[in-house]
Structure 1
Amino acid sequence: MGKLSAPSVLVGALILTVLISLVHLTQGSSTVGVGDLFQMLIGNGDQGASDTFFSSRLPRLLAGLVAGVALGAAGALLQSISRNSLASPDTLGVTAGAAFTVTLVAALGIALPVWLGGLVGFLGGLLAAAVVFLLIAGRNTSVTRLVLGGTAVAMALQAATSLLLLLFAQRTIGLFAWGNGSLSQLDLRGVWQVGPIVLIALLLAVLYGHKFDLLALGDDAVTVLGARPGAIRLGGILLAVLLTGASVALCGPLGFVGLSAPAIARLLAAKVPGLVKHRALIPLSALLGAVVVLGADVLIRWIGGVSAGIEIPTGVTTTLVGAVFLIVLARRVKDAGAAGKPSAAKTGRPASRLKFTLMISSASLVLTASVVLGMLGGFTWLLGGDVLNWITGQAPPGVAFALDERFPRVLAAVAAGAALAVAGAVIQSVSRNPLAEPYTTGITAGAGVGVIGLLIVVPTAAPWQVSIVALLGALLAFALVYGLSWRGGIDSARIMLIGVGASAAGGAITTFLLVKADPWNTPLALTWLSGTTYGRSLDQLIPVGVALALLVPLLFLFRREIDVIGLDENTPRIVGIRLEPVRLLTLGVSVLLAASAVSVVGVVGFVGLVAPHIARSLVGSHSVKVLPLAALIGAVLVSVADTIGRTVIAPAQIPAGLIVALIGTPYFVYLLYRTR
């Protein structure tokens, strides 16, 4: 490897791209093979082979090439600009921003040519990048902060996109596969419209590659050399977002190509010094991006047959590959950033007994009001007297039917919100990461994969079956994340980044299960995946009720240990606490709580993040005060979100998980901004 030069590596990458392209051309549903294609190229092919080539195989191949080149180059630019090997269009929310604006235009009924869709995607990606870089990133932004901030912004935009797909189902038919990254093309028009945009942006990035080389020297050195680092970064961001927007408009969000392709290129650059220069690094990343996209498409069609290439979005495979790269790179991360600090970092002074009593009483009153509002609200608004008559068994049949349906839903939201909040509070304390929660540590994703698989196979699964599968999925994901994060101990930044990777992989697996499922079962699974209380019955609440009754008191028994572990690595050992066994036990209890909540309301994010922070800002960091208040706040959040979802567009409904994501993301961004 040491004898290789940058030009030889680039030539090798080009040859590899050509070879994979040739293999890609041979795959298809027709009987046209290599010999037929060769005969066509030399002018002896028949009309059938020509039609197959130009109407199906060539458009798919060129779409993969264009999208892969665009995302590979965009990822290389974003990594250089942020000086962060984990930066990419996905981890910085750019891809989600582009997908949201393209979906918004479709939802509004506006038909745009693909090239104009690329510009619309550019605007959405630029907005997402602005939020991440301007509001979240500080002068010395850590890896963890940048990735978590981008992931949070992406989650909110994905929730908004899902909401558009739900509200404008007729106008957005067919966008589910596109929304997960698909190379399927009807003809070559999209490639011809987007291709020139990608080519021009790529040429500009290479032309100004020497400017991006300067960023590695640091801002002061760049200024001394007579350049403006801010202008260089802005130019790089604009080019990267333009490339991402063009790719999304053509093929939808192809997950993590912009992470894995530049990562491979930088690994090669460590052996071949000439590749460090951006005039070589950017083209290499672009070629490797094409290799990743086409390779993923070839792989899925080779394993699952030609039909798999149509049924399963290519983005599912690229996301799985990219998630593996994220986990591998995260294991090398040594910066803690926002992690490594006590979870209560400057969130509030310890509350007096009077203040704590006042906070608990106030939160209880708010929860009571939210429960009453949940009982009254819905397609038909009821009165307080109706509820009283229902309690005494004197309500009319119509009122009794409505309240019989609402009561389990309200209880499900309250119980699940409390469980997620307590789980988040404990995870933040024992991992000493104020940005941790069940969703971003991969726990809910694992539970979600398990339950989705069960619901697809057994749509009428009993509540106890759903609970067991959710528990097994969550435990497996937790074991995976914890095991991969272990390197002589648990680093809080590393466990968060690996958790983000595990969540992404879980989402890709879930999408795979959905697209391979019986289409009659898919709506049920999709609704559950968005986080909803729809159709819940009292017997389905037993798992989360038992978990709260048994596990929360257990956590209170370990409240002192939780507080001490939240200080640092050394203090627990000094006072005689067995750090790792206690941490593993408390995290395991949190996993059980989160899994029980997921089995009842599906995948709901941000509750485990937001509720503990609000609680700590009000009563300080002592677990004996944080846990009960966080439980009440979490119950209020999910209950209010569920009520909003059931009423704002009644009789249609918005899953509570989408409402929580839209509410929770601004608070998450605020937390990151406040600690810049």
Structure 2
Amino acid sequence: MAIGTLTEQPTRRGALPPTDQRPPSGRLFALTGTLLVLLVLLAAVHLVQGTAAVGVADLVSWVLRRESGLEAAVVVESRIPRLAAALAVGVALGAAGCVLQSISRNPVASPDILAVNNGAHFALVAASVAGLSLPFVGDIALAFAGGLLASAVVIALTGTAYGTVRLVLGGTAVSLALSSLTTSLLILRPEEGTGLYAWASGSLSQNGFGTLRLMAPFVVAGVAALLMLGRRLDVMMLGDDEARALGIPVRRTQLTVLLVTVLMSAAAVAATGPIGFVGLAAPALARLLVPHVPGLHRHRALVPVSALMGVVVVLGADVALRAAMGAQTAVRVPTGAVTSLLGGALMVALALRLRAAPIGGAGSSLEVRGTGVRRRALLAGAVGAVLLGVAAAAALAGDRSLLVGDLLLWARGEAGPLVNTVLGTRIPRVVAALLAGVALAVAGATIQAVTRNPLADPSVIGVAGGASVGAVLVVTYAPLAGFWALTGAAGAGAAVAAAVIFALSARGGFASDRLVLVGVGVSYVTTALVTTLIVATDPFSAAKALTWLSGSTYGRSYEHLLPLGLVCLVVVPLAWAGHRHLDLISIDEDTPRVLGLNVPRTRLALLACGVVLTGTAVAAIGMIGFVGLVAPHAARTLLGRRHRWVIPVAALLGGALVVLADVLGRAVIAPDQLPAGLLTAVIGTPYFLWLLHRTRAT
């Protein structure tokens, strides 16, 4: 599991070698003392925050045992267990993220990026939905198995020498697939949706100390094991070859560290749900202090400091949440949503420090280069025929199956009342899926060409997430607004997200790696914002919100599709009309300028096409993932890189993919239904991971 090295700016100057034996400096003791004092202050504030009127005076009286009663009961039964959960989870995730970054020499490695948290969460939710009741130790074992399997998939499919972008993309893809499967289970059990949805983002709420007593031994044993491996980790920071030359069993050490960190993360997920990005934020903050604190680079100091920093992150997020939103509202908002906001922002900051490959350079090595065919028109016609066949099957299949004759009679206006009723609700759904697939596929093809980044899917890089935030804001605060207002808000959200992503990525020349990392960070931020909006404003409609955010055509009528239809009618031909410009811009930065093309203006216009298509599609049927990645890649594989053919064939493939996902979601478990976006994630993730596996470094 030797993982590629990430080059950062600035480099650490004057750092001591990892095997240095100098005693800890006064700065290290000062840093530790400062963190402990900060923890005490945060804990004191944390204990006096809540829905019950327990203030500082009541807390002091309880500590001095001057009185008991309701105040003591509130503190002991509710707030202290919540505080203890923050301590345990912060220590577990902070220490786990620290050593994962060390063995990978990658500053974005964490239990979240390796899909450990999502794997553990999926295993626990699956057991809960299946009615499997286990003791807490059994939950930890189940979460450990799920997290270990997920991390093994990420490591296996991203290769044996992967760098930052490959790790982030592989982990994000696996996490999205597992999240889709988890969401499917929650939608199938709507009676459990409210509690499980909040817990899915990480909640510190506890019923007494029973769970924490069982969790504590796993955390203590894990930290102790990591401290025992501290010397080995110090030497391994020099490089695998150097460590082997000094007698360190590199592979065995990496495997041991991985097993310990997965166990600690699984225990945290079993106790509080997946609290996001503590394992990324805490070690990253600790490592920022390494150049200024002599001795902190040694893991026997770095692991405890990262653990303390993890507690500061968790407690600080919980305290800030209650201070900003008030005790009553903050009860419903999971702490993990706030830490995910911090983690996404931190990933963006790390991306800006990354000395990434320039656009068209190493970052483009993942592109699938099509071999092309001689009879492109014939192939495009065949893809169109497939789309028509899938659309016809989608019109006939569902909770009530119809025959082809019924469809023909309906088309001629001669069908009976039952057929008219069924097709009257089913056909608009088919049209919605088709139009959304076309829009997202063309958006993906355009954005990939303009950025020269073959992995710039609108959902992966955060543009679709921005559209989702805009739409949810309208649904939340203006529920009576019309569909045009919803479409406009989604488009505005996509535009804002795209402006942030591309503006930050443009620093240093549109580096391919930086674009991906900034986009993924923004995607995590938007997901956390949507989660906060849902659970804070209307927690009892979590299942409904989950369905919409997962991309559902349910209840769509022709009037809902009017904005999307108009945008597809206008913008898709505009994007196709710029196919020659897309061909030139996708080559490099200099060729189009030599040929007289105004690159900034053309890039902005084509990106605007992609953003408008994405925002309108999200407003129409919600979040649909991987369509903008899979369809353009498949089109280039079949036809080569000429966008004259790539755009129309990608549009046909995108429409067919979403229609297929929609009909499968309606028919497989009829009369229950699954949103189309969940199925596209399940379908698209294997293709995406195969792409990473096919192009991995050897």
Q: TM-score, normalised by structure 2?
A: 0.93
Of 134, 137, 140 in structure 2, the residue corresponding to residue 115 of structure 1 is 137
2:324 is the alignment partner of 1:303: yes
CA distance, structure 1, for counterparts of residue 359 and residue 114 of structure 2: 17
CA distance, structure 2, for counterparts of residue 72 and residue 328 of structure 1: 19
CA distance, structure 1, for counterparts of residue 63 and residue 414 of structure 2: 82
Q: 1:655 to 1:324 in 2, by over 3 A?
A: same
CA distance, structure 1, for counterparts of residue 428 and residue 242 of structure 2: 63
2:662 is the alignment partner of 1:630: no
CA distance, structure 1, for counterparts of residue 127 and residue 368 of structure 2: 42
Q: How many angstroms does 1:313 deviate by?
A: 0.7
CA distance, structure 2, for counterparts of residue 460 and residue 172 of structure 1: 25
Letter in 1 for 2:521: G
Letter in 2 for 1:550: V
Instruction: Report the counterpart of residue 51 of structure 2 in structure 1.
Output: 29
Instruction: Report the counterpart of residue 3 of structure 2 in structure 1.
Output: none
- The 5 A counterparts of 1:190-589 are 190-336=211-357, 340=361, 341-342=363-364, 345-352=367-374, 354=375, 356-519=376-539, 522-589=542-609
Secondary structure, in 3 states, of the residue corresponding to 2:46? Answer: helix
Instruction: Report the counterpart of residue 134 of structure 1 in structure 2.
Output: 156
- Of 375-384 and 2-11, deviating more is 2-11
Q: How many angstroms does 1:344 deviate by?
A: 8.1
Q: How many angstroms does 1:65 deviate by?
A: 0.7
Identity %: 45
Write out per-residue CA displacement over residues 172-194 of structure 1, whole angstroms, 9 at most, x where no aligned residue. 66211110110111111011110
Q: 1:544 to 1:31 in 2, by over 3 A?
A: closer
Write out per-residue CA displacement over residues 277-333 of structure 1, whole angstroms, 9 at most, x where no aligned residue. 111111111101001101111111111221133111111111111111111111111
Contact 1:320 1:505 in 2 (8 A): yes
Structure 1, gaps ≥5 residues long? none
Letter in 1 for 2:333: I
Q: CA RMSD in A?
A: 1.9
Q: How many angstroms does 1:163 deviate by?
A: 0.8
Q: How many angstroms does 1:270 deviate by?
A: 2.2
Letter in 2 for 1:301: R
Q: 1:174 to 1:518 in 2, by over 3 A?
A: closer
CA distance, structure 2, for counterparts of residue 454 and residue 171 of structure 1: 26
2:670 is the alignment partner of 1:650: yes
- The 5 A counterparts of 1:23-172 are 23-139=45-161, 141-170=162-191
Structure 2, gaps ≥5 residues long? 1-13, 15-24
CA distance, structure 2, for counterparts of residue 344 and residue 113 of structure 1: 45
CA distance, structure 2, for counterparts of residue 312 and residue 498 of structure 1: 25
Contact 1:145 1:337 in 2 (8 A): no
Q: How many angstroms does 1:579 deviate by?
A: 2.3
CA distance, structure 1, for counterparts of residue 602 and residue 114 of structure 2: 35
CA distance, structure 1, for counterparts of residue 372 and residue 354 of structure 2: 34
Write out per-residue CA displacement over residues 34-82 of structure 1, whole angstroms, 9 at most, x where no aligned residue. 2322232233231333212210111000001111111111111111121
Q: How many angstroms does 1:606 deviate by?
A: 0.3
CA distance, structure 2, for counterparts of residue 669 and residue 337 of structure 1: 24
CA distance, structure 2, for counterparts of residue 291 and residue 116 of structure 1: 29
Contact 1:73 1:258 in 2 (8 A): yes
Write out per-residue CA displacement over residues 462-491 of structure 1, whole angstroms, 9 at most, x where no aligned residue. 221221111111111111111222214211
Instruction: Report the counterpart of residue 188 of structure 1 in structure 2.
Output: 209
CA distance, structure 1, for counterparts of residue 358 and residue 142 of structure 2: 34
CA distance, structure 1, for counterparts of residue 561 and residue 369 of structure 2: 33
Q: How many angstroms does 1:269 deviate by?
A: 0.9
Secondary structure, in 3 states, of the residue corresponding to 1:490? Answer: coil
CA distance, structure 1, for counterparts of residue 339 and residue 143 of structure 2: 20
Contact 2:194 2:539 in 1 (8 A): no
CA distance, structure 1, for counterparts of residue 636 and residue 605 of structure 2: 23
CA distance, structure 2, for counterparts of residue 85 and residue 520 of structure 1: 38
CA distance, structure 2, for counterparts of residue 336 and residue 624 of structure 1: 28
Instruction: Report the counterpart of residue 610 of structure 2 in structure 1.
Output: 590
Instruction: Report the counterpart of residue 16 of structure 1 in structure 2.
Output: 38
Secondary structure, in 3 states, of the residue corresponding to 2:455? Answer: coil
Q: How many angstroms does 1:125 deviate by?
A: 1.0
Instruction: Report the counterpart of residue 21 of structure 2 in structure 1.
Output: none
Instruction: Report the counterpart of residue 675 of structure 1 in structure 2.
Output: 695
Contact 1:343 1:432 in 2 (8 A): no
Letter in 1 for 2:200: G
CA distance, structure 2, for counterparts of residue 34 and residue 466 of structure 1: 46
Write out per-residue CA displacement over residues 190-219 of structure 1, whole angstroms, 9 at most, x where no aligned residue. 111101111110111111111111221111
CA distance, structure 1, for counterparts of residue 39 and residue 578 of structure 2: 56
CA distance, structure 2, for counterparts of residue 339 and residue 163 of structure 1: 38
Q: How many angstroms does 1:164 deviate by?
A: 1.1
CA distance, structure 2, for counterparts of residue 472 and residue 171 of structure 1: 33
Q: TM-score, normalised by structure 1?
A: 0.96
Letter in 1 for 2:296: L
Contact 1:556 1:624 in 2 (8 A): yes
- Of 544-553 and 317-326, deviating more is 544-553
Instruction: Report the counterpart of residue 626 of structure 2 in structure 1.
Output: 606
Q: How many angstroms does 1:85 deviate by?
A: 0.6
